A and B are shown apart, each in its own frame.
Chain A
């Protein structure tokens, strides 16, 4: 009986709904150290603590952002900035997030290829190249 119920659960649990409405937000941030520190853009408020503590900078500029619907099995280009952009492929979905392959580019140069499991609302930060006195940080978050 319990097996039957379990089978029913498997049938009915909204695995498709794991994707339903999920979107991936990507951004390119320039992190600098300035005196006085610049106010943090509203859109980066959620990331302020990590950006400050992990990367050691106190001022942040949102150079670009892009939000896209998540399509299973699809390949998407996330182009928050013309220079720093990403190619994303969804490999697997489950109830809590997505396994995906991400390629981060600086112009035509492939900086890094990663296979990562992104849980919903748990960001991925990628430390990109230095720019002048600052640092490029790419952020991805499933929402």
Chain B
């Protein structure tokens, strides 16, 4: 019952958005922005980029609303736009280094790069930070397409079919990517299992 009424509400917002109602579209953004942001972040692994691409996703969605035929859920359609935008960005830009100061459009000078970080402090903080860095380094070794598949499966809990629609790929491709991503992560992080 709850699902039906929320689906009906979303359908109403979609209808109004197609008629040019930006208030309704704003509500659709509010409904889905967290999921879209998280999904993009898992592919691009950078908060600023994820924020920019989230905006880009909804803007593209607004412009493409007349083309959305409702064959699958709105969120799935948004995910597809988001995945394409994220993968495009990964392909055209080199990923920024892990630890950097946000210098905006102009690079910060050398003196300002010496920010003290949590990594410089002894104790438990280093172990946790080290583990996180290892996990991120391993995850970054996957291609954007593999990151998309594994994160949609393991973090968002999507089915193979849903992942296929969200990434505009076949079921077989989804399963292959999951298989490869898992194997790769296991081989890169095999020593973690031994240490724990």
Contacts and interface: CB of A to CB of B under 8 A. Distances in A.
A65 B114 CA distance: 15
Interface size, B (range): 10 to 19
Contacts, number: 47
Interface stretch (B4-12, B36-44, B96-104, B165-173): B96-104
A132 B112 CA distance: 18
B112 A80 contact: no
A136 B103 CA distance: 16
Point out which of A30, A40, A62 has the most chain B C-beta atoms below 10 A from its C-beta.
A62
Closest 3 CB pairs of A and B: A41-B112, A62-B112, A64-B102
Interface of B: 47-48, 101-105, 108-109, 111-112, 114-116
B109 A43 contact: yes
A112 B103 CA distance: 24
A64 B103 contact: yes
17 contacts: A38-B114, A41-B108, A41-B111, A42-B109, A43-B109, A44-B112, A61-B101, A61-B112, A63-B115, A64-B101, A64-B102, A64-B104, A65-B102, A67-B104, A82-B48, A82-B102, A132-B116
B104 A65 contact: yes
Contacts of A81: 102
A36 interface: no
Nearest to A30: B115
A64 B116 CA distance: 14
A43 B104 contact: no
A30 B115 CA distance: 8
A32 B111 CA distance: 14
Contacts of B102: 63-65, 80-82
Given A30-B115, A80-B104, 4 more contacts: A43-B108, A61-B116, A64-B102, A82-B48
Nearest to B105: A67
Contacts of B101: 61-64
A137 to B, nearest CB: 14
B27 to A, nearest CB: 19
Point out which of A38, A41, A67 has the most chain B C-beta atoms below 10 A from its C-beta.
A41
Contacts of A32: 116
Contacts of B104: 64-67, 80
A39 interface: yes
B103 A65 contact: yes
A56 to B, nearest CB: 18
